[in-house]
Structure 1
Amino acid sequence: MEFNRKNMRALMRLIAFAVLLLVSLLHLGSVLQFLQTLLSLFSFLLVGLSLAFIMNTLLRPLEDRVFAPLNRRLGKRWQKICRPLCILLTVLLLTGLVLTVVFMVLPEIGRTLAQLGEQLPAFVDDTVLWLNQTAEKYGRSLDALQELDIDWDKIRDEISSLLRNGASSLLTGTFTAATSLVSGVFNAVIGMVLALYVLANKERLCAQARRVTYAFMPEKRADAVVRVARLANQTFNGFICGQFTEAVILGLLCFIGMLVFGFPFAPMISVLVGFTALIPLFGAFIGVSVGAFLILVNQGFLQALWFVLFFLLLQQLEGNLIYPHVVGKSVMLPGMWVLIAVTLGGNLNGVLGMLVSVPICSVLYALFREAVNRRNRENGVDAAKLSVRRAAGWDGPDSAG
């Protein structure tokens, strides 16, 4: 290889990257702590951009579809007030949705907790009795389980004593929680203001980002960055719209089915199932697990079992008939990679990681697939060698025809 100025510059960049990677791996704990501190400092910015992106999924249909005829008829004067009006409608719709869910769920949660407080002692006693009867049926004795007679007054006294002895710790924890709450509210307010500004000036901000990209990068590389950004925007937008619509449909179907079959706690469990369904793959089963436990305590094992069977049937109906048409091919990711992405995202950053892992993995998968196809075309590989078909009587690679 000829060591000209261009090659030397590329070699120096490679060496610098290798040294930086080695130092980062040797001090991984400090690097992660620094990144966490950096994220906390700019949390308001992340909140604002996330809110702007989510709100834009509702703002765009309002501008491009609902008010599109007025844009053509009324001219420039209407176009000046169309964006602020659509932003206001977006905020009102989202606020109304959140308030509706809150006021529908909170009273139900209060009633559910009150019922659980009344029925839990009887549920424990019934469980112990059932275990004893089962043990006697099979010739075994579980008389020791009778000692599980719970003295709720004693438990209440112990909790009161614990609270009195740990008053200082409780005060410190309360102060910390209050500080975190104030900080969270402040970041949410600043993030909301930032989101409104981004929505009002999104075309200008995108144009500025393009100018900066083409100013500091070669044109070919800048084209690639813009293409990746466009792909990421389309993927995230399609995923958010599809997943939200699918969660709403699943929650409504669950609510209707629970009312038809007479299951208790229909509003709260349906909202919980719809909310957790925003998490791909595993989310709805989290909601149904909580719902099954509530029904188990309230109406017994058999009714809880019927509820689980009902939800499994509903999940099959929704997954095979509704989900493909609602979400479609907005996230073109095979099922195996969805499972891997959700698992890795959950391990890295909990629920938030599970939410964003699928569209991120979808973007990476699409880029990697394009790179593989391009390399195969450049290398002149025959298309027949890239496809694998199982022939009749196939016993192995050598017998494949």
Structure 2
Amino acid sequence: MKYFESNWFKLLITGMILIVVYKSVDNINGIFSFFGTLLGILMPVIIGCVIALFAYRPVCKLKGLLCKVNNRLVTSHSLVISVLIVYIIFFAVVALAFNFIVPVLYKNVEELVTKLPGYIDSLNGLLRHVEFIPQVDLSFIGEKLLSYFNFERLNEYVSVITGIANSFVSFLVSIIVSIYIILEKEHILLFFSKIKKRFQFDHKTDVVVRYIKKIINLFYSYFAGLLIDSVLIGSISTVVFASFKVPYAVFLGLAVAIGNMIPFFGPIVAALVTYLIGMIGLGPVNALWILVFQFVLGQIDGNIIQPKIVGSQVGVSPLLVLVSVTVFGGLFGPLGMILGVPICASAKLVLEDYLEDGKIDGEKREIT
């Protein structure tokens, strides 16, 4: 025992650690490559955990309703039946989207790409009559986009099709993983409980678990509400655009829905895109009503619809939203812009606990 407490032993351990650190830094590209490969292998499992997170609450609510049914067979298999119903509804929605929305969307995109050079020439001609706008040749935009959407060179996209097929298989694996996670939830929790008991983790573990539950609830509330809100706003926009004969209504509605997922900047970019494309079919003056509609809908959504759907769980000020979207978007791109707000809200949750009484114990703020 004294040998392990000696200075020579401590020096040996320190030297070994330094060697490991040096070799790690010396081969940093190989380490990143290894973890990248490992992350790719584990990605179906990670996505399955995310799917399970969002499917678990509907399953629990449905299970509670089935437990009230006066039928022993139903109550005894309520969890399995609930999982089956929720996933059937999910696949039914996906199937409806592919049958009705995707073909129309594909037709919109194909027509837009085909007519894009003519649209850009028209826009160039329009800009030439506006004196205060610098004259810029926009033909390079069409050439750049057509290089990505050349429907006459489909043979060159075999690798893309293969990648889509592999992604589909990975998605099916993720679905299966998510189902097993929900069905085996009690066994998984019991397993970790045994680990905690065996290794006798201290009370700090309880604090970490408490915060993990709060942050998971925060992410769930934020993204579930944001998804519902984006689908609703995108659907309203599509119906209005189609009613007023705006070209490519489905494509523009999808752009609005995606833009609504990114706080602050997303709706602005979506409004500009819808105006530019609407200007093609309606003219620059008549297309202004699209901007008016987007502004009015944005005000209704931001002040009435989104607070009701998303709720006040996130509790982040508009300034912090702007900063988080800017910083995380600059660091991690579009994904960072989407994740920035809930990440900052999670950090704010911990900071508020500490500022309230000088302790990080997870006892002060509950998210329901």
* TM-score computed with the length of structure 2 as normaliser: 0.76
Cα distance in 1 for residues equivalent to 2:40 and 2:92: 29
Who is 2:196 aligned against? 213
Who is 2:308 aligned against? 325
Query: Is the 1:269–1:291 contact (alpha carbons within 8 Å) kept by the matching residues of 2?
Result: yes
Who is 1:200 aligned against? 183
Q: Which runs of 5+ in 2 are unaligned?
A: 6-11, 361-368
- Deviation, 1:21, is 8.1
> In terms of Rg, which structure is larger?
1
Query: Is the 1:263–1:307 contact (alpha carbons within 8 Å) kept by the matching residues of 2?
Result: no
Q: Residues 199, 285 of structure 1: CA spacing in aligned structure 2 closer, same or farther, 3 A cutoff?
A: farther
Who is 1:343 aligned against? 326
Who is 2:287 aligned against? 304
Q: Residues 95, 24 of structure 1: CA spacing in aligned structure 2 closer, same or farther, 3 A cutoff?
A: same
Within the candidate set 90, 93, 112, 1:94 is matched to: 90
After the TM superposition, which residues 351-370 of structure 1 pair with which residues of structure 2 at under 5 Å, given as runs? Answer: 351-370=334-353
- Deviation, 1:227, is 0.5
Q: Residues 53, 247 of structure 1: CA spacing in aligned structure 2 closer, same or farther, 3 A cutoff?
A: same
Who is 1:284 aligned against? 267
Cα distance in 2 for residues equivalent to 1:122 and 1:325: 44
Who is 1:59 aligned against? 59
- Deviation, 1:238, is 1.0
Who is 1:233 aligned against? 216
Cα distance in 1 for residues equivalent to 2:257 and 2:337: 16
- Deviation, 1:33, is 3.5
Q: How many residue pairs align between the two structures?
A: 346
Within the candidate set 118, 123, 143, 2:119 is matched to: 123
Who is 1:49 aligned against? 49
Q: Root-mean-square deviation (CA), in Å?
A: 4.1
Query: Is the 1:120–1:297 contact (alpha carbons within 8 Å) kept by the matching residues of 2?
Result: no
After the TM superposition, which residues 1-400 of structure 1 pair with which residues of structure 2 at under 5 Å, given as runs? Answer: 29-64=29-64, 67=65, 70-74=66-70, 77-113=73-109, 115-116=111-112, 119-134=115-130, 174=157, 176-259=159-242, 261-375=244-358
- Deviation, 1:13, is 11
Q: Residues 13, 109 of structure 1: CA spacing in aligned structure 2 closer, same or farther, 3 A cutoff?
A: farther
Moved over 4 A (4+): 12-31, 259-262
Letter in 2 for 1:49: C
- Deviation, 1:55, is 1.8
Query: Is the 2:63–2:78 contact (alpha carbons within 8 Å) kept by the matching residues of 1?
Result: yes
Cα distance in 1 for residues equivalent to 2:17 and 2:264: 37
Letter in 1 for 2:78: C
Q: Residues 141, 341 of structure 1: CA spacing in aligned structure 2 closer, same or farther, 3 A cutoff?
A: closer
- Deviation, 1:91, is 1.3
Query: Is the 1:52–1:196 contact (alpha carbons within 8 Å) kept by the matching residues of 2?
Result: yes
Cα distance in 2 for residues equivalent to 1:13 and 1:367: 35
Percentage of pairs with the same residue: 20
Query: Is the 2:234–2:256 contact (alpha carbons within 8 Å) kept by the matching residues of 1?
Result: yes
Query: Is the 2:105–2:250 contact (alpha carbons within 8 Å) kept by the matching residues of 1?
Result: no
Cα distance in 1 for residues equivalent to 2:298 and 2:78: 40
Q: Which runs of 5+ in 1 are unaligned?
A: 6-11, 164-169, 378-401
- Deviation, 1:355, is 3.2
